[in-house]
Amino acid sequence: MLLHTPSFRSAALLIVAAAALLPACAPKSELDPDVSEPLIQPVARFEFHKAAPEAPPPGSRTGEEIYARVCTVCHATGTLDSPKTGDSAAWAPRIETGFDALVQSVISGKNNMPPRAGASDLTDTEVQRAVAYLANQAGAGFTEPQ
């Protein structure tokens, strides 16, 4: 295989090294971007993918992950008259209505809270996990479903 021969590898290394050095050696005006960019970009793209791991796919996210991505926007500060995270007094009467009622409020939406808290990609199970996580911060003893 040509790709695995040592000479091909050193040639490829040379090209990468030359691409990296080009901007330093040549004044900008002499660089033809059509030539230099395709050489430089694959290296940059590789680094980008390494630095930004993909978000977990819908259905597999934990209550804490969903809370941090979606629910915190309102509940962290009590925005729009939402019960504030960890505020036991605000949450107690709601927790008393039961887990299923709270989950239903999030799925259907309630007053200033839009359906699925505005995150339409949340599955029902993910809503349950997030409700358990959020209510537990205020003392509910709910179990986050698997």
Please say whether the beta carbons of 131 and 142 come within 8 A: yes
Span of 1-9, 16-24, 42-50, 79-87 interacting with ligand HEC by CB under 6 A = 79-87
Q: Which of 19, 61, 85, 113 binds ligand HEC (CB under 6 A)?
A: 113
CA–CA distance, 95 with 131 (Å, rounded to integer) = 10
CA–CA distance, 30 with 100 (Å, rounded to integer) = 67
CA–CA distance, 78 with 57 (Å, rounded to integer) = 28
Q: How far is the CB of 55 from ligand HEC (least distance, A)?
A: 15
CA–CA distance, 98 with 81 (Å, rounded to integer) = 20
CA–CA distance, 10 with 13 (Å, rounded to integer) = 5
Q: Which is nearer to ligand HEC, 5 or 97 (CB)?
A: 97
Q: Which is nearer to ligand HEC, 19 or 74 (CB)?
A: 74
Give, as ranges, the residues between 57 and 76 that touch ligand HEC (CB under 6 A).
66, 70-71, 73-75
Span of 10-18, 27-35, 44-52, 99-107 interacting with ligand HEC by CB under 6 A = 99-107
- Counting residues that bind ligand HEC (by CB under 6 A) gives 24
The set of residues, in sequence order, having a beta carbon less than 8 Å from that of 22 and lying 6+ positions away, is 31, 36, 39, 40
Q: Which residues bind ligand HEC (CB under 6 A)?
A: 66, 70-71, 73-75, 80-83, 94, 101-102, 105-106, 110-113, 117-118, 130-131, 134
